[in-house]
């Protein structure tokens, strides 16, 4: 584990996350999304030994992967007390191949072959700097996967965040106060963030399996030259 020198102007409010997805079971709420993501994560974990999840919540994805790949080493980073405690003492208690850090993910990076973060990056005011610091500790040919909300899912954003069409129209990024601080990015904006962090995009898609949110997913590899 390495500390990072990133200092953010803003990020989300730690306390606001305390009940997020607490105790959720996979393949129940949005089965199509869970199947898509577990298949994709599994495909990558098949070739990558050391895996990190930044902002792992209550450990729902780590539990699935660590059971499926007992010879891989998994690390989860989570700053919210309640989610961390649940992951450590309940969900992941009996899994020997997971290490958890109760830390702010903007201040640490972990050596790995693959890292992923789901619904996290958009809560950092300087997402490029954080992603870059995580990427610096990715092995050569290491992979990264992230999922972020989709600014271009107009109707959903208007309904969920009480935004007007004028607030979204023609914008590359829109800041609002979900969990204290969240950015909505356009397709091109997230691609630019990923590229500027030293990653090359392998796969970009709107995750239609999550019908309402239609978030954006990016898989990238570490650029060596």
Q: Please report, as ranges, the residues that interact with ligand SAM according to CB under 6 A.
A: 11-12, 17, 20-21, 55-57, 60, 77-80, 83, 104-106, 118-120, 123
Measured from the CB atom, the residue of 77 and 138 that comes closer to ligand SAM is: 77
Helices and strands, number each (H, E), in the chain: 7, 11
Among candidates 103, 116, 102, 126, which has minimal Cα distance to 181?
126
User: Are the CB atoms for 114 and 52 separated by under 8 Å?
Assistant: yes
Least distance (Å) between residue 202 CB and ligand SAM: 21
Least distance (Å) between residue 53 CB and ligand SAM: 6
Least distance (Å) between residue 80 CB and ligand SAM: 4
Measured from the CB atom, the residue of 20 and 161 that comes closer to ligand SAM is: 20
Q: Which tokens belong to 91?
A: 């969900």
Least distance (Å) between residue 168 CB and ligand SAM: 21
Measured from the CB atom, the residue of 55 and 198 that comes closer to ligand SAM is: 55
Measured from the CB atom, the residue of 57 and 142 that comes closer to ligand SAM is: 57
CA dist., res. 150 & res. 172, Å (int) = 11
Measured from the CB atom, the residue of 20 and 221 that comes closer to ligand SAM is: 20
CA dist., res. 76 & res. 59, Å (int) = 8
Least distance (Å) between residue 41 CB and ligand SAM: 11
Tally Cβ neighbours within 10 Å of residue 99.
14
CA dist., res. 86 & res. 22, Å (int) = 8
Least distance (Å) between residue 58 CB and ligand SAM: 6
Cα R_g (the chain), whole angstroms:
17
- What kind and span of H or E run contains 175? strand 173-176
Measured from the CB atom, the residue of 21 and 97 that comes closer to ligand SAM is: 21
């Amino acid at each position: 584990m390495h500390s990072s020198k990133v200092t953010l102007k803003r990020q989300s409010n730690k306390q606001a996350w305390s009940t997020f997805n607490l105790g959720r079971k996979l393949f129940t709420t949005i089965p199509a999304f869970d199947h898509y993501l577990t298949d994709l994560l599994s495909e990558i974990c098949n070739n990558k030994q050391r895996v990190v999840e930044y902002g792992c919540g209550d450990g729902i994805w780590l539990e699935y992967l660590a059971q499926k790949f007992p010879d891989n080493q998994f690390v989860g980073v989570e700053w919210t007390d309640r989610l961390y405690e649940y992951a450590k003492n309940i969900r992941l208690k009996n899994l020997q191949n997971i290490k958890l850090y109760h830390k702010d993910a903007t201040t640490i990076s972990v050596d790995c072959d693959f890292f992923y973060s789901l619904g996290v990056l958009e809560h950092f005011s300087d997402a490029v700097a954080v992603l870059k610091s995580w990427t610096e500790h990715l092995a050569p040919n290491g992979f990264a996967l992230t999922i972020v909300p989709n600014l271009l899912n107009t109707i959903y954003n208007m309904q969920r965040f009480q935004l007007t069409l004028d607030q979204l129209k023609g914008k590359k990024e829109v800041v609002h106060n979900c969990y204290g601080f969240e950015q909505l990015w356009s397709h091109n904006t997230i691609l630019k963030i990923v590229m500027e962090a030293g990653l090359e995009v392998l796969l970009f898609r709107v995750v239609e399996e999550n019908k309402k949110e239609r978030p954006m997913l990016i898989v990238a590899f570490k650029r060596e030259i």
